[in-house]
Structure 1
Amino acid sequence: MFWRSVVGKLAITILLLVSFVLFILTILLLEFFENFHIQEAEDDLMQTATKVSVMVENHEEKSLIYETTERVKDADTKVAIFFPDNTFWFSNTSDEQLDVINEDWLSSESYLTTVLSESVQLQEQIKIPNEEKGAMLVGRPIDDSGAAVFVFQSLDVVDQTKAETTKIIVLAAGIAIILTTIFAFFLSTRITKPLIKMREAAFDLTRGEFNTKVPILTYDEIGELAMAFNRMGRQLKFHINALRQEKEQLSSIVSSMADGVITLSRNGEMIVTNPPAERFMEDWYFEKEIDTNGINRKLPPELNAILQDVIQKEEERLEEISIQGRSWVMIMTPLYDQSYVRGAVTVIRDMTEERRLDKLRKDFIANVSHELRTPISMLQGYSEAIVDDIAESKEEKNELAQIIYEESLRLSRLVNELLDLARMEAGHIQLSREVVELDGYVDRIIRKFGGVSSENKIELLIEKDISVPQAIIDPDRIEQVFTNLIDNAIRHTSEGGYVKVMLENNSEEMIVSVEDSGSGIPEEDLPFVFERFYKADKSRTRDKKKKGTGLGLAIVKNIIDAHNGTISVNSKIGVGTSFTFKIPKE
C-alpha cells in the first residue's frame, strides 16, 4: 500500500511539513499585509488632510480651496472642511456609500469635538451610517484657528487590495505546495529507489538466490549501504555453501553408516535418522503393534523414558533390545549445547550376526568336543583293556586293536574334514579345473557304491541326459560331493529302498540330483542341513556303526559355492530326500 511505503511516508512527511510552514507563513503574511494596507491608506488620507489644511490656512478664498481640494483628493475619498465660522463643506466622491456622511452626522459624533478641543490628529475606522460596511476617518486641526479637515474613505478599497494580496499569497502557496509535492516524490523516489532494490534483493536472498547484487547508484550513505549489502550477500553465500557442504558431508556419513543413528530433542522428537535407524523403528512399531500415523517423528514411550533418564542424569545409557528376532544394542549419549543438554544422540547396532557367530563358535566348540570325545574315549578304553590284559586270547586282542584302528581312522577323518572345512570357509580352497568326460566319470563313481548298495539291499539307479558330453570342473572335489550325497542317501535309506542319481548336462549348466526313498528330514531342520555338525535325528541312520561327523554337507556346500553353483534340498518325512546342485558353465 502506498501510504505504508517508504516513498509515501517520506513524501507525506515533506508535504505536511511544508504545508504547515506555508500555512503559518500565509497567516502571518495576510495579517502583515492587512495592517500594512490599512496603515498605507491612513497615511495617504493623512497626507491629503495635511495638504487641504495647508490650503485652508494659507488661502481665504473658499472657491479656490474647494477647487484645489477636489484636485488633490482621490476620487473614492470624501473631504469635509469645518471653517472657523462654523460652516461645513463636503467634497464630491465616487463612492456613493460615503454620501450619507453629512454635517448632521459629523456634528453629532465626537470626532469634531475631539479634533478641535484637543488639537490632535485622528485616525480611526468607523461604521458608515445606515450601512454594514466601515470606513476610515482621518481628522486634522488647522493650527489654532478652530477649523479642521476630515477625510473619509471606504474600507472596500482596503478590502479589495487585501483580497488581491491574499489571492497572490494563496496562489504562491499553492504553487509552492505543487512544487513541493513534485520535489517530495522526486526526492523520496531517488532516496528509496536503492532501498527498493535492496528489498527485492533481500527477497531474492530469502529464496536462496545468493548471486543477487544491488546496483550502486550513488556514493553516499545509501551507496555504502548497497556495497555493504552486496558484501553481506557474498559472505552469506560463502557461509551457506560451507554449511551445505558440511551438512551434506554429515548426511552422507550418517547415511552410509552401518549402525543406526538417531538425533533426539528433549521432548523425544527424532530430528535426524539414517536408513538402519528407520528400519529399527519400523520393526519396533510392528512388534509393539503401534499405528505410525502421525508419530513417525516421535520416540516410543519406552525409549522416551530412557531419553529422559539420560537427560536428567547426563549419563550414557546402554541397552540391549530384541525386536523381530534380531538383537540390537542401543547407546544413548547426551547432546550438549554448551553446558545445556538439548537432546541426545542414539547409536543402534544390529548385533544379530555377532550373536549368531558367537553361538556358532560355542556350538562348534561343543560339537567338536562331543565328536572328539567319543573316539578318544573308545581309544582310551580299548587301549586300557589291552594294557590290563583284559583280552586274554589273541583273537580278542586283535578285535580290540581293530576297533582302536577304526576309531583312529574316524578321528583322523574328522580332523581332516575340519581342516578342509576351515580352509574352504576361509576362502583358501584351490580348484583344479579340467575338462571331464561326464559319462565315464559318473559311471565310475556309481560303481564305487555298487557293493555297498547291494550289501544293504538298496537299489542304486542312474539317469543321464547328457547333451554336452564334457564339463569343466574339479573332478576330485565334485567326486567328493557325489560321495557325500550318495553315502548319506544309502545310510538313511532302509532295505528295499532306492537311491537315484540323475545327471543333466547342457550348454548352460550341469544339474545333478541325488534322490532317495529314505526316512526324510523334518521340515524345521531343512534350513540347517548345510551347517557344521548337523544331525537332525540320529535315529534316521540305518547303520548305527557308521555314523557321520555332520561335516559332509557343509563341505559339499562350500565346494559347490567355489564352483559358483547352487545346492538345494527337498524332503518329506517317510517319503524321502532329494539334493540338487547346479554348476553353471560360465
Structure 2
Amino acid sequence: MFKSIRFKFITIYFLLVFMAMIIVGVFLIQQFEQYHLGVVRGNVTQIAGSVMTTLEDIDWKNNKEEIQKNISPYEKMGMEIYVIEKNNDFTIISSTNLSYWNRNAMYILDSDLILSAFHGEIKEKDIVSDQEGQRSSKNMVFPLYDEHSRITGALYIRQNIEDIYATLDQSKFILTRAIILALFITIILGYLLAKSITGPINDVTIKAEKMAKGDFNQVVEVKSDDEIGQLAGMFNYLTARLKSALQEMSNEKKKMDTIINNMADGLIATTAEGIIIHANPVALGMLNTNEKILTKKSFDDVFSPLNDKLSLKYLAKEKKWYGNEMIEMDKGVKLRAKYAPIVREDGELEGLVVLLQDVTEHEKLENMRKEFVANVSHELKTPLTTIKSYTETLLEGAMENKELTGQFLTVVESETDRMTRLVQDLLQLSNLDFKQAQWNKMETNVNEIVENAILKLDVSAKNKKQQIDYHTSEEDLTVFADIDKLEQVVLNVLSNAIKYTAEAGKIHIETKNENDVVKIIIHDNGIGIPSKDLPRIFERFYRVDKARTRELGGTGLGLSIAKQIMEAHDGKIELFSGEGITGTKAIITLPAVEKAFASV
C-alpha cells in the first residue's frame, strides 16, 4: 500500500496543503497579534502623553491628590497607571491601584523597565502569563522631567491584553479546525484525484498482465482527453497492433506448419545441443517412428546408426554444416539427407535442419533407365553384329556362291526385320508416353476382335499342334475402343501364350460381361511365370528367360505397350501365374459401352 503511487500522491498532496495552511495560519496569527498589540501601544502612548502633559502643569511631587484625580478616570479603561518618584526606594506616589501607594515599584512592576525609564528611555514589554491568577499585559514606561530636563520620575502604564490573547487563542482554535477540515477535504479530494489518475494506470497494468499471459482481447476505457486518456488510447492502439501482428505471425506459422507438414519431403530440426525440436509426419514415416519416441532421443541417437557422417559430433569436428548424405533403410528404401545450419544474428550456431528425400523410386527409375539403354543397345547390337559379319563375309568373296549368298541375305533380312520391329515398338511406346498416339475409338464387338486374333495366329498354334478353345457367354460384348490397338493387345497376349506353351498344349480363351465390365481371359498350360518375376513383367525389355525370348523373336516391349494401350482405354491387363494356377492366365478388362460413354 505504502509503495503505491496513489498513497504517495495523497501524501504529497496532504503535506503540501498542510504546510501551506500552517504557514498561512502562523502568518495570520502573528499579523493579528502585532496589529492588536500596536493598537494597544498607540492607546497607551496617547494616554501617557495626556498624563504627562497634565503632570507638567502641576507640582506632582507635592500634590499627590491632584495626580490621583487626573489618572483615576483611566482605571475604567482597564489601565493601571503608576507614577514613580526617583529616589532610593523607587516609591509609587500615585496609582490607579490604591493598594500600591507608597510601595517600592521594583517589587511590584518590571524593574528593567523602571531602570530604563530612569535612564531616559521609553520602553515597552509584553508580559504573557499562562499561570492562573496572573494576567497578560502590555507594560510601557516613560521618563518624567522637571523644568531643567532632569529625570525626576517615571510614568508606568500597564494595559490588560488578555482579551487580545483570548481572541488569538480562539483564532488559533478556529484556524486549527479549518486546517483539519481542509486536510480532511484534501485527503478526500487527493484520493479522488489520485484514483482518477491511478485508476486508468491500474487498469492498464491489470490488462497488460493479462496480455502477458496470452489474452490479447483487452481494451482500456478512455474516460478523458488528457494525458491519461491519451495513455489509454495508445494502449488500445498498441493492443490492436500487437493483436494484428500476432495474428499475422500465427497465420504465417500456420501456413509454414501446413507447408512443412504436407510437403513431400521429410524435415527435422534440431538444436546445437542435439535436441530434436521439430519433425514433420513425412520424416516420422521415413524413419519408421513416432513423435513421442523421437523427441526422447537426441539427434545423434537417431542418425548416427544410419550414417555416422550425419552426427553433430562429426559435423562439428569437420566443420561441415552444408551438404548431403545417403541413408539406406530397411526393404531397400534409400533416403537423401540434405542438411544446413540455423545461424543466429550473432553468427553462433543455433541448430541444424535436415531435409529427407525418398530417392528409392528415383534410384529405381535411374537403374531402369540404365537397364533400358543397355537393353536397347544390346537388342540393336546383336542384329547389327550379325548383319556386319554376314556382309563382311559376302564382300570377301562369298557372293560368288549364290546358294550361300541367298542364305546370308535371308539372315540379314531377318535381322533387319527384327530391328524394324524394335524401332516400331519403341516409337509406339514413345507416342504412348507423351500422349501423342492417334486413337480411332468406336463401338466394337470384343468377340470379333478375339476371333480375328485367333484366326491370325491359328497357323502358329497348329504348327505346335496346340489346341485353342474359345468360349463366350454373350454374342454381343460391345466396348468403345480403337479396334487395331485392342487387337494388338489380344495378339500380343495370345502370341505369348502360343510361344511359351509346349507342343500339343492347350489355350483357353473366354469373353464375358461382369458388372458392366467386359473381360477377355486367355489361359494357357505353358511354362508359367515365376512369382518373383510377376511384379516386373510389364517393365520394358524385362524377360523371364532372356535367351529363350530372343530365340522366339520377342523384343521385350509387347506387354509394356499392351499395358499402356489398356490404360488409355480406362481398362487394365493382369497376369496370374504360380500358386494354384497352371501355366499363365491373362485377364484383359474394359468398361462396357454404357460405362465407356459415361467416362468420355
- 1:343-362 matches, cutoff 5 A: 354-362=362-370
Structure-1 separation of matches of 2:585 and 2:448: 23
Structure-2 separation of matches of 1:252 and 1:195: 39
* Aligned twin of 1:578: 585
* Aligned twin of 1:114: 115
Structure-2 separation of matches of 1:492 and 1:67: 176
Q: Does 1:557 align with 2:556?
A: no
Kindly tell me: are residues 116 and 376 of structure 1, through their superposed partners in 2, closer, same or farther at Cα, counting changes over 3 Å?
A: closer
Displacement of 1:553 in angstroms is: 0.9
Q: Deviations over 1:395-432 (max 9, x none)?
A: 77766655444433333222221222222122111121
Displacement of 1:337 in angstroms is: 5.6
* Aligned twin of 1:533: 541
AA aligned opposite 2:19: F
Q: Which runs of 5+ in 2 are unaligned?
A: 147-151, 305-309
Kindly tell me: are residues 217 and 204 of structure 1, through their superposed partners in 2, closer, same or farther at Cα, counting changes over 3 Å?
A: farther
* Aligned twin of 1:322: 327
Displacement of 1:183 in angstroms is: 7.5
Q: Deviations over 1:155-186 (max 9, x none)?
A: 64343222233235445545665776788678
- 1:157-236 matches, cutoff 5 A: 157-170=163-176, 173=179, 217=225
Q: Does 1:368 align with 2:370?
A: no
Q: Deviations over 1:192-234 (max 9, x none)?
A: 999999999999999889999989947xxx599789969x979
**Number of residue equivalences:** 566
Q: Does 1:435 align with 2:443?
A: yes
Is the 8 Å Cα contact of residues 466 and 506 (structure 1) preserved in structure 2? no
Of stretches 508-517 and 12-21 in structure 1, the one that deviates more from structure 2 is 12-21
AA aligned opposite 2:373: I
TM-score (norm 2): 0.70
Q: Deviations over 1:301-337 (max 9, x none)?
A: 8365687689x68xx8332433542453637488796
Is the 8 Å Cα contact of residues 121 and 141 (structure 1) preserved in structure 2? yes
Kindly tell me: are residues 581 and 124 of structure 1, through their superposed partners in 2, closer, same or farther at Cα, counting changes over 3 Å?
A: same
Is the 8 Å Cα contact of residues 14 and 183 (structure 2) preserved in structure 1? yes
- SS for the counterpart of 2:510 is strand
* Aligned twin of 2:425: 417
Of stretches 361-370 and 487-496 in structure 1, the one that deviates more from structure 2 is 487-496
Q: Does 1:19 align with 2:25?
A: no
Structure-1 separation of matches of 2:475 and 2:95: 159
* Aligned twin of 2:469: 461
Displacement of 1:530 in angstroms is: 1.1
AA aligned opposite 1:556: A
Of stretches 529-538 and 110-119 in structure 1, the one that deviates more from structure 2 is 110-119
Q: Does 1:548 align with 2:554?
A: yes
- SS for the counterpart of 2:566 is helix
Q: Deviations over 1:476-499 (max 9, x none)?
A: 111111111122233334456543
Structure-1 separation of matches of 2:506 and 2:47: 163
* Aligned twin of 1:72: 74
Displacement of 1:558 in angstroms is: 0.9
Of stretches 425-434 and 208-217 in structure 1, the one that deviates more from structure 2 is 208-217
TM-score (norm 1): 0.71
AA aligned opposite 2:469: L
Q: Deviations over 1:538-585 (max 9, x none)?
A: 48x6x8841522111101111011112233333326844333332222
Q: Does 1:470 align with 2:478?
A: yes
Q: Which runs of 5+ in 1 are unaligned?
A: 94-98
Structure-2 separation of matches of 1:308 and 1:338: 18
- RMSD between aligned alpha carbons? 5.8
Is the 8 Å Cα contact of residues 221 and 232 (structure 2) preserved in structure 1? no
Q: Deviations over 1:252-280 (max 9, x none)?
A: 99779877888998778999x9xxx9466
Identity %: 23
- 1:8-407 matches, cutoff 5 A: 13-34=12-33, 37-38=36-37, 40-41=39-40, 44-55=43-54, 58=57, 69=71, 71-73=73-75, 78-82=80-84, 86=91, 91=96, 106-108=105-107, 111=110, 114=115, 117-126=118-127, 131=132, 135-136=136-137, 138-141=139-142, 143-144=144-145, 146-152=152-158, 156-170=162-176, 173=179, 217=225, 278=280, 281-282=283-284, 285-286=287-288, 291-293=293-295, 302=310, 304=312, 317-322=322-327, 324=329, 325-328=333-336, 330=338, 332=340, 354-381=362-389, 402-407=410-415
Structure-2 separation of matches of 1:160 and 1:189: 43
Structure-2 separation of matches of 1:224 and 1:581: 83
* Aligned twin of 2:495: 487
Q: Does 1:445 align with 2:470?
A: no
Kindly tell me: are residues 121 and 289 of structure 1, through their superposed partners in 2, closer, same or farther at Cα, counting changes over 3 Å?
A: closer
